[in-house]
């Protein structure tokens, strides 16, 4: 026996368990909102830029080959910036808690393709501390790179600053709630179809015809709210027990 599912059946399943889908979606959105607003710690982001170029008195300042060499050096500099040789000095200067490895997880170094400008991005739970880490990392790197690479071609292009109304970059409550709503809908719809699949009871005569392929001869209806018979007695015709010496009708 082949089972076919029509689009109407799908809508019937969804409409029958619409309350379940709405409930799961509401719970998911509520939990996501509570976690985003009250549980997760806000994380702030600060950025500073460094420029990799040759000294100003170098005659090959604008030589194409020299520029290409500087671009290739940025990839090496990215690793040096996040190395203990730099971050240990940053931790010591700012008197931070933690190791160079933990600090490295807060720092990201990026640069556009074929660009001599590298960007140091720092994320921290404190906007002020993120700014201090970004600026200190850039200055320490500029100071230490001549000793490490034996070349002085790094300058700080722009320093990180703390805005008056610094806003966290994460969590993003609205985005988290939107994702939770989508996930809640998917879970609710999936659970509805699962419950429908596991439900093998026959509820209507249509189920008998479709599943058992038997004709329905008759239906026993369920009669509800049938009024019960009541005995109404009138006070003026109530039975009276005769006393001694009395007869009925007297």
Residue 50 CA to residue 120 CA, distance in Å, equals 8
**Cα torsion at 241, 242, 248, 249 (round to 10°)?**
-90
Pick the range with the lowest mean pLDDT from 45-54, 138-147, 174-183, 215-224: 215-224
| pTM for the whole structure | 0.67
**Cα torsion at 80, 168, 99, 153 (round to 10°)?**
20
* Per-residue pLDDT tens digits for 181-237: 999 999 999 999 999 888 777 777 776 777 677 777 777 776 665 566 666 555 554
Question: 11 exposed, middle or buried (CB, 10 Å; 0-12, 13-18, 19+)?
Answer: exposed
pLDDT grade for 178, boundaries at 50, 70 and 90: very high
Q: Which two three-digit tokens encode residue 60?
A: 């090959």
């Amino acid at each position: 026996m082949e089972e076919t599912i029509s689009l109407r059946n799908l809508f019937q399943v969804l409409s029958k368990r619409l309350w379940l889908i709405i409930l799961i979606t509401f719970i998911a959105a509520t939990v996501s909102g509570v976690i985003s607003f009250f549980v997760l710690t806000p994380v702030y982001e600060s950025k500073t830029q460094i420029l990799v170029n040759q000294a100003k008195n170098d005659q090959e300042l604008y030589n194409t080959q020299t520029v290409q060499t500087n671009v290739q050096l940025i990839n090496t500099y990215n690793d040096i910036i996040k190395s203990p040789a730099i971050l240990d000095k940053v931790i010591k200067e700012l008197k931070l808690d933690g190791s160079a490895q933990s600090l490295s997880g807060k720092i990201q170094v990026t640069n556009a393709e074929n660009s001599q400008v590298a960007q140091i991005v720092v994320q921290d739970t404190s906007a002020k501390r993120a700014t201090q880490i970004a600026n200190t990392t850039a200055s320490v790197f500029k100071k230490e790179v001549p000793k490490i690479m034996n070349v002085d071609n790094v300058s700080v292009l722009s320093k990180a600053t703390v805005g008056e109304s610094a806003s966290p970059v994460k969590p993003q409550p609205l985005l988290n709630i939107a994702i939770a709503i989508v996930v809640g809908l998917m879970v609710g719809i999936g659970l509805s179809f699962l419950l429908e699949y596991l439900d093998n009871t026959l509820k209507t005569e249509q189920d008998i015809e479709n599943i058992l392929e038997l004709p329905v001869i008759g239906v026993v209806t369920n009669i509800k709210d049938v009024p019960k018979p009541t005995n109404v007695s009138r006070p003026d015709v109530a039975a009276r027990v005769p006393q001694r010496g009395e007869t009925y009708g007297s």
